[in-house]
Amino acid sequence: MSTPDPSTPDLSHVAPREKAEILAQALPYIRQFHGKTIVIKYGGNAMTDPALQQDFAEDVVLLKLVGLNPVVVHGGGPQIDEALTRVGKKGQFIQGMRVTDEETMEVVEWVLAGQVQQDIVGLINAAGGKAVGLTGRDGGMIRARKLKMVDRDDPEKLHDMGQVGEIEAIDPSVVKALQDDQFIPVISPIGFGKDNESYNINADLVAGKLAEVLRAEKLVLLTNIRGVLDKEGNLLTDLTAKRIDELFADGTISGGMLPKIASALDAAKSGVNAVHIIDGRVPHAMLLEILSDQAYGTMIRSH
C-alpha cells in the first residue's frame, strides 16, 4: 500500500460517496476545457499567505495534469514596496499607478523577475509541475511604449509616469512552445521598448492582453475581494459584458475595481469566453470555480 503524501489534505472524514460525487462533478468541466488555455493573474492575499501560495501551486499543477493549459501572470506590488523601503525609496503613485523612475525600474525588475517569479516557479515545481519563468523580454514577447497618463480631472494634462508602459504588441510564440512541451509559463509583467528600455506594465493588463492573443478559454483574476458587488453588497456571480458597461455607467463599479474590471471587460469583448474575478483569500477558490458549479467570484461572459 502506498504511503500518503503528508502535504495531501486528509479526506478520511469525507464519505466515499461524497468523494465520488466531487470527482464526478468535475468530469464535465475537465472534458469541456481539455486542451484549452487558461490565463491566471496571480496577486493579492493568495500571493502573500504561505498556505494560500501552496493551494495556488497545487491548483495550477492539477489543472495542467487534467489537460488544461494554465499560464500564470503575476503582480508584486507589496514586494516592490518592501524592496523600495529597504533601499530608502518611497513609492509614489498617481491615480493608482506607480511612478517608475530609472532606479525604481531596477528594483521592479529584480523583485518581479527575480524574487517573486522564482518563488512561484519553485512552488509549482515543488507541487509536481514544471514551471518556467519568463519576462516580456523573453522571445520578444511584450513590446511596449511609454504610457501617457491623462489626468482624471483635466484631460489636457498628462502625467509623466517614468518607465511605466502600455502594451504595443504581444508575440505569444515562446508561451505556446513551452505549453506544447508540458511546461507551465510564469510571466513577469515587464515589457521592452524600441530602444531596449524596460517598462513596468500593470499585471492585469498583461494577463488580459495575453488571454486575447492566446485565444484563451478563460481569464482568471485572483483578487482580495469577493468579486463584483451590487450597491447592496451582494455578490454578482454571472454578468455579461453589456451588464458590466451598465454597472460602470451607474457608478456601481468604481475606484480600485475600475482598472481590473476594464481589463476583464476588454478580454471578454475580444474573444475570451469567460473572465472570472475570484476571491483569492478562499483556499482552492480557483479550482472550485473552474471545475465545479459553485461560484467563488464573478464570471463575466463575452455575450
Domain-embedded: residue 106: yes
Domain span at 147: 36-301
The DSSP secondary structure of 271-302, one letter per residue, reads T-SEEEEEETTSTTHHHHHHHSS--SEEEEE-
Domain-embedded: residue 18: no
Q: Largest Cα–Cα distance of the chain, in whole Å?
A: 72
Annotated binding site for substrate: 76-77, 98, 200
Count of domains forming the chain:
1
Max mean pLDDT among 3-12, 222-231, 281-290 falls in 281-290
Domain-embedded: residue 28: no
CATH number of 60's domain? 3.40.1160.10
Q: What is the pLDDT of residues 111-170, one digit of tens each?
A: 999 999 999 999 999 999 999 999 999 999 999 999 988 888 888 999 999 999 999 999
* Between 220 and 24, the higher pLDDT residue: 220
- Provide the angle, in degrees to the nearest 10, between the axes of the packed helices 102-109 and 77-86: 120
Report whether 293 contacts 236 (CB < 8 A).
no
Mean pLDDT on 22-41: 90
Domain-embedded: residue 197: yes
Domain-embedded: residue 204: yes
**Pairwise CA distance, residues 42 & 57, whole Å:** 11
Q: What is the pLDDT of residues 96-112, one digit of tens each?
A: 788 999 999 999 999 99
Q: Cell 509623466 identifies what position?
A: 160
Q: What is the pLDDT of residues 201-228, one digit of tens each?
A: 999 999 999 999 999 999 999 988 888 8
**Pairwise CA distance, residues 232 & 22, whole Å:** 32
Report whether 187 contacts 136 (CB < 8 A).
yes
Annotated binding site: 76-77, 98, 200
Mean pLDDT rounded to a whole number for the chain:
88
**Pairwise CA distance, residues 216 & 36, whole Å:** 7
Domain-embedded: residue 60: yes
Helix locations, 66-145, DSSP H: 77-86, 102-109, 117-126
Domain-embedded: residue 139: yes
* Between 200 and 250, the higher pLDDT residue: 200
pLDDT at 275 over 70: yes
Confidence of residue 4 (pLDDT cuts 50, 70, 90): very low
- Report pLDDT for 128: 94
Domain-embedded: residue 66: yes
